[in-house]
């Protein structure tokens, strides 16, 4: 599969977002031998700070080879917010609009794919593993948490980068559809980041993957890291009913995103 000139993995810090960054970091040299320039989040997050402090996008593109001979994949797990800024003033990723403007400046005139990793809010908080984010969620009434919308965020992405292809990826979707996702993100690099490599990055390392794809769904539901009732109660102050409502809201958001033009959902 032919990669666009620039693939931006903008997070947030879901389990999938963190796993993709790890794959980029660990396979960076091998990806480069296949003609893909790959930069992990330590590069992408610093680039975002530098753009915010006045770095010219043209200089950034030249430094990283964006728009050059080889396609570029750039991860930024803090590309829409640092973990501490996940929730603030009853908003989800309240600084995303500002950060998206900087990403749009970088991508101007470049064929770009934006990859957003989204999951139910409790799963995102578990993956972020940040005390300030957990405290903000705990201090937010459940009805305000329910109103936090991934669909609204995706609409901001489309508005900021209207010429870019957009892919919304859930951890479950990436696991079940790894044969599609690996080449879609890594292009020629899928020779290195195989579907089973992607799947193995999303579940505990001591649980061998099933040999048949027919068993993937049940396997994922059994072994995926997920918030347990005690963690929800003690860390987020959240009961099971609220967690179920947020799960339901997430599925509603996914369907709303699926209906958006020029957005692919997996």
Categorize the per-residue pLDDT at 1 as very low, low, confident or very high, splitting at 50, 70 and 90: low
In a domain, 191, yes or no: yes
Q: Which of 88, 111, 109, 112 is nearest to 98 (CA)?
A: 88
For the chain, the domain total comes to 1
What range does the domain containing 52 cover? 6-265
Query: Bigger pLDDT: 252 or 262?
Result: 252
Compute the distance between CA of residue 195 and CA of residue 25 in angstroms, rounded to an integer. 17
Q: What is the pLDDT of residue 247?
A: 92
**pLDDT value at 192 more than 80:** yes
In a domain, 1, yes or no: no
Q: What is the pLDDT of residue 246?
A: 92
In a domain, 194, yes or no: yes
Task: Tell me the pLDDT tens digit for each residue of 50-80.
Answer: 999 999 999 999 999 999 999 999 999 999 9
In a domain, 78, yes or no: yes
Q: What is the DSSP string of 51-70?
A: HHTT--HHHHHHHHTTTSSS
In a domain, 98, yes or no: yes
Compute the distance between CA of residue 159 and CA of residue 100 in angstroms, rounded to an integer. 9
Task: Tell me the pLDDT tens digit for each residue of 117-154.
Answer: 999 999 998 888 889 888 998 899 989 989 999 999 99
Compute the distance between CA of residue 29 and CA of residue 189 in angstroms, rounded to an integer. 11
**pLDDT value at 223 more than 90:** no
Residue 114: beta bridge partners? 8, 166
Please confirm whether the linkage preceding 12 is cis (ω < 30° from 0): yes
Bridge-based pairing state of the strands 87-88 and 91-92:
antiparallel
Task: Tell me the pLDDT tens digit for each residue of 255-264.
Answer: 999 999 889 9
**pLDDT value at 94 more than 70:** yes
In a domain, 80, yes or no: yes
Categorize the per-residue pLDDT at 206 as very low, low, confident or very high, splitting at 50, 70 and 90: confident
Q: What is the pLDDT of residue 89?
A: 82
Contact 176, 221 (CB under 8 A): no
Q: What is the pLDDT of residue 211?
A: 76
Compute the distance between CA of residue 69 and CA of residue 1 in angstroms, rounded to an integer. 16
The whole-chain average pLDDT of the chain stands at: 91
| Rounded average pLDDT over 157-166 | 94
In a domain, 128, yes or no: yes
Compute the distance between CA of residue 242 and CA of residue 15 in angstroms, rounded to an integer. 21
| Minimum mean pLDDT range among 33-37, 101-105, 111-115, 202-206 | 202-206
Cα dihedral sign for 192, 197, 201, 205? negative
Tokens 């972020």 sit on residue: 128
| Rounded average pLDDT over 11-37 | 92
| Rounded average pLDDT over 34-41 | 94
In a domain, 93, yes or no: yes
């Amino acid at each position: 599969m032919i990669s666009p000139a620039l693939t931006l993995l903008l997070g947030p810090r879901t389990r999938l977002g963190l796993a993709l960054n790890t794959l980029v970091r660990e396979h960076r040299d091998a990806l480069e031998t296949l003609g893909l320039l790959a930069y992990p989040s330590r590069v992408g997050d610093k680039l975002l700070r530098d753009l915010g402090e006045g770095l010219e996008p043209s200089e950034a593109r030249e430094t990283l080879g964006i728009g050059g001979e080889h396609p570029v994949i750039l991860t930024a797990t803090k590309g829409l917010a640092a973990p501490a800024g996940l929730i603030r003033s009853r908003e989800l990723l309240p600084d995303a609009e500002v950060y998206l403007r900087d990403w749009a400046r970088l991508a101007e005139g470049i064929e770009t794919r934006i990859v957003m990793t989204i999951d139910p809010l409790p799963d995102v908080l578990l993956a972020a593993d940040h005390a300030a984010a957990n405290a903000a969620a705990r201090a937010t009434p459940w009805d305000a948490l329910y109103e936090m919308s991934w669909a609204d965020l995706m609409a901001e992405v489309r508005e900021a980068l209207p010429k870019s292809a957009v892919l919304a990826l859930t951890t479950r979707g990436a696991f079940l559809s790894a044969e599609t996702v690996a080449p879609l993100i890594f292009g020629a690099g899928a020779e290195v980041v195989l579907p089973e490599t992607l799947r193995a990055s999303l579940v505990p390392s001591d649980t061998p993957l099933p040999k048949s794809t027919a068993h993937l769904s049940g396997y994922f539901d059994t072994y995926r890291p997920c918030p347990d009732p005690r963690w929800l109660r003690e860390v987020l102050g959240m009961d099971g009913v609220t967690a179920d409502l947020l799960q339901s809201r997430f599925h509603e958001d996914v369907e709303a995103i699926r209906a958006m033009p020029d957005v692919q959902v997996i």
